[in-house]
Chains A and B, each alone.
Chain A
């Protein structure tokens, strides 16, 4: 089968494409190398994939590309391309998010009209919930994003729904909860924490450190995302989380244990748009995707640490 992966040079996109190729799929990978973090990092993510005859890479922007021609004969679309970052999405920067998240998704969905796409899989985010009242948070909780980024992801989900309702484009929106592991983006917390610990630098902590996240290891995310191909479920939003919320303090304790180093901290004011707690209710994912997270925080952090030390190139 033919799969299109947008954002293929990113953290999750590159892992997903590798898995699809390994499963025997033909993968068309698109990336425009947004400048949110260095291009060299993304090139490195793609290095293994480019050796595969079943992988075809195209450097292009979804806002400019002739998408109907690309989407033709595509069975599955994994739309992972996005402008990432909760804290950077305020003010003038919001237009970057409306363009690269909302308008790019609309263009891609529009190109699916009249085509035989079996499923459009959207990478959504736990940030659509904002400060959820229910914890663990199920998909029935009313999404109330507290960041412009979260709002842009929710808008993408709504776009999927309206193209399903009006044009019968089957979709699934996967709400990823704080994904980590090898190749994690350099601006994300674990990457920064481990980098600082490795270099003996201060770790910056936003707020009091008692905020929690439902950290989810990359291989669990990839397993569930690939299962989106085979499920009959359509037009659903689905949580993908680890089911085990941990505070930043607990993460730091594990990092001290893994690195064998005492971390030095610097406290920074809580950031606007950051939620206090996240914890996924994964009952729905279990039901429709057979999802069951396998990798615990300590084990996953150790794998990411080994990768950041340069001793590990594969997440599995």
Chain B
């Protein structure tokens, strides 16, 4: 698990404040409501809307 579980449990989507899930394959945190993925770079999540990647 490249991201700390405790941190994952408390992080939310900065856009909608809803839940995010960790996608191991894409190595990012996905908000299904906003269809955005927050990338994990060097094992650190980048929780910036501007740097989020659109996902289907």
The residues in A between 278 and 308 inclusive whose CB is less than 8 angstroms from any CB of B are: 279, 281-283, 286, 292-293, 296-298
* A279 and B11 within 8 A (CB): yes
* A134 and B12 within 8 A (CB): yes
A243 and B44 CA atoms in complex are apart in Å by: 10
Chain B window 3-19, contacts with chain A (Cβ cutoff 8 Å), 1 for yes, 0 for no: 01011001110100100
* A247 and B4 within 8 A (CB): yes
29 contacts between A and B (CB under 8 A): A134-B12, A134-B17, A135-B10, A135-B11, A135-B12, A136-B12, A210-B6, A212-B4, A244-B45, A244-B46, A244-B47, A244-B48, A245-B11, A245-B44, A246-B44, A250-B42, A250-B44, A254-B42, A277-B10, A279-B11, A279-B47, A281-B14, A281-B47, A282-B48, A286-B49, A292-B48, A293-B48, A296-B41, A297-B44
Range, interface on chain B: 10 to 19
A285 and B52 CA atoms in complex are apart in Å by: 17
Whether A210 touches B47, Cβ cut-off 8 Å, given contacts A135-B12, A277-B10, is: no
* A136 and B4 within 8 A (CB): no
A180 and B17 CA atoms in complex are apart in Å by: 28
A284 and B45 CA atoms in complex are apart in Å by: 20
By secondary structure, the B interface counts as loop
By secondary structure, the A interface counts as loop
Q: Residue of B at shortest CB range from A246?
A: B44
Point out the residues of chain B lying under 8 angstroms from A282, CB to CB.
Answer: 48
CB proximity of B23 to chain A, nearest CB, Å: 18
- B-contacting residues of A (Cβ < 8 Å)? 134-136, 210, 212, 243-247, 250, 254, 277, 279, 281-283, 286, 292-293, 296-298
CB proximity of B27 to chain A, nearest CB, Å: 14
* A245 and B14 within 8 A (CB): no
Residue among A210, A243, A277 having the largest count of chain B Cβ atoms under 10 Å: A243
CB proximity of A114 to chain B, nearest CB, Å: 41
Which of B4, B7, B48 meets A243, CB within 8 Å?
A: B48
* B44 and A244 within 8 A (CB): yes
Residue among B6, B41, B45, B48 having the largest count of chain A Cβ atoms under 10 Å: B48
Point out the residues of chain A lying under 8 angstroms from B12, CB to CB.
Answer: 134-136
* A210 and B4 within 8 A (CB): yes
Q: Residue of B at shortest CB range from A257?
A: B42
Q: Residue of A at shortest CB range from B43?
A: A250
Asked if B50 CB lies within 8 Å of chain A CBs, one says yes
A279 and B46 CA atoms in complex are apart in Å by: 10
A298 and B41 CA atoms in complex are apart in Å by: 10
CB proximity of A277 to chain B, nearest CB, Å: 6
A298 and B46 CA atoms in complex are apart in Å by: 13
Residue among A136, A247, A279, A297 having the largest count of chain B Cβ atoms under 10 Å: A136
Q: Residue of B at shortest CB range from A280?
A: B47
Which of B17, B42, B45, B50 meets A245, CB within 8 Å?
A: B45
A134 and B12 CA atoms in complex are apart in Å by: 8
Q: Residue of B at shortest CB range from A281?
A: B14
Point out the residues of chain B lying under 8 angstroms from A296, CB to CB.
Answer: 41-42
Point out the residues of chain A lying under 8 angstroms from B10, CB to CB.
Answer: 135, 277
Q: Residue of B at shortest CB range from A286?
A: B50
Beyond the given A245-B44, A283-B14, A296-B42, could you list 13 further A-B residue pairs with CB under 8 A, ordered by the A residue number?
A135-B10, A136-B47, A210-B4, A212-B4, A244-B47, A246-B44, A247-B7, A250-B43, A250-B44, A277-B7, A277-B10, A293-B48, A297-B44
